[in-house]
Amino acid sequence: MIRSMTGFGTADGNVGSARVSVELRTVNHRFFSPALKLPSALSRWESDVREALRKRIARGHVTVSARLERTAAMGASIDEGRFAEYAAQLRALHTTNALDGTVDVATILRLPDVVRAGAEDEIPDDALEALIAVVDEAATALTTMREREGARLAAVVLERLAVIEGAVSRIASRAPERVVAQRDRLLENVARLAAGVAIDEQRIAQEVAILADRLDVGEEIDRFHTHIAAFSDALRDGATDGVGKRLGFLLQEMLREANTTGSKANDAVIQRDVIAIKEELERIREQVENIE
C-alpha cells in the first residue's frame, strides 16, 4: 500500500527488569533520517534500533523516544557520598551568607544524581532482542497509520489525475481543429496580401506543412498519456521502495510536456487547459511530497 510519511506509533514491553515505552513520530523527508532519544540505560543499542527502523521505513524523518518505567523489583538507591557533599556545601553557604532556615533532607534528595533508579544495572546485555521487539511493535503501529493516511492521499491524487487526463483529452481533440484554423487563416492572409498576384502553390504548401509541424502536439499528448498511466500504476501498485521519488519524477515529466504544449499552442482554448493542468500538477506535487 501507499504510505504517507506522516505517522505516529507507540508500544511498550518488558526489557530486562524494566518496562520500556517506545514512541515513533515521522514527518516527510527526502531520505531516511532518524533522530533517537534513548535513556542512558538503552543508549548502547542506539545503532541496533536505528538499523531495525531502517528495515521498516524507507523515507521520512523519524523521531524515536524511549522511556524507562521502574518496576517494584528495580527499587532505588541514594548516593550517600553525593548526598554528604551537597549537605556540606549547603551548610557552608548558609553559614557564609547568614541565611535563615535549615538544610532539609527533601531539598538535598531533589538535587541531581542523588537518587538513582538503578535502571542501568537492571538492563542486561542480552535484553537487546526484547528492546527490538518493542521497537518493531511501535513500527507496526506507525506503519498502520501511515498506510491509512497513504490511502487517503492516493485517493486525492487519483481524483486530481483524472482532472488532468480530461484536460489532456480536450487538448488532443482541439489540436487538429486548431491546425486547420491556422492553415485557413494563413491562406486567407496570403490571398489578401497577394491581391491578384500569382502565388507559388508549392511554396504555400510548404509553409502550411511547416506551420502544421510547429503546431503539432501529438507527441506531447502521447507522452502525457504514458506518464499518466505510469503514475496511476505506481499509485495502485503501492510499492514502498521509493514510490514517492518515482511519482515526483513523473510529475516533472508531465510538467515538461505541459510547458511544451503551452508554448506550441497559440490557442486560447488550449492555453486554458494547459494552465488547469499545471495547477493540478502543483496540487498533486504537494501531496506527493508526503508519500514514502
CATH topology of domain 7-73+127-144: Ribosomal Protein S5; domain 2 (3.30.230)
pLDDT at site 90 = 84
Q: How far apart are CA 9 and CA 60, in angstroms?
A: 14
As given in the structure block, the three cell numbers for residue 93 are: 553557604
10-residue averages of pLDDT along the chain (292 residues): 92 91 95 93 94 93 90 64 86 80 80 66 82 97 95 93 94 78 64 62 64 72 93 79 86 94 82 94 94 90
Under 8 Å between Cβ of 7 and 26: yes
Q: Where are the domains of the chain?
A: 7-73+127-144, 77-116, 147-288
pLDDT at site 183 = 63
pLDDT at site 119 = 45
- For the stretch 6-16, what's the b/e string if a residue is b when 16 or more beta carbons lie within 10 angstroms of its beta carbon? bbebebbbebb
The residues near 202 (Cβ < 8 Å, ≥ 6 apart) are: none
pLDDT at site 189 = 63
Q: How far apart are CA 241 and CA 3, in angstroms?
A: 11
As given in the structure block, the three cell numbers for residue 224 are: 502525457
Q: Are strands 18-27 and 7-15 parallel, antiparallel or unpaired?
A: antiparallel
| DSSP secondary structure, 41-100, as one string | TTGGGHHHHHHHHHHH-SSEEEEEEEEEE--TTT--EE-HHHHHHHHHHHHHHHHHHT-S
- Residue 71: count other Cβ atoms within 10 Å of its Cβ: 14
Under 8 Å between Cβ of 24 and 35: no
pLDDT at site 223 = 93
| pLDDT tens profile 109-148 | 888 877 765 544 568 888 999 999 999 999 999 999 999 9
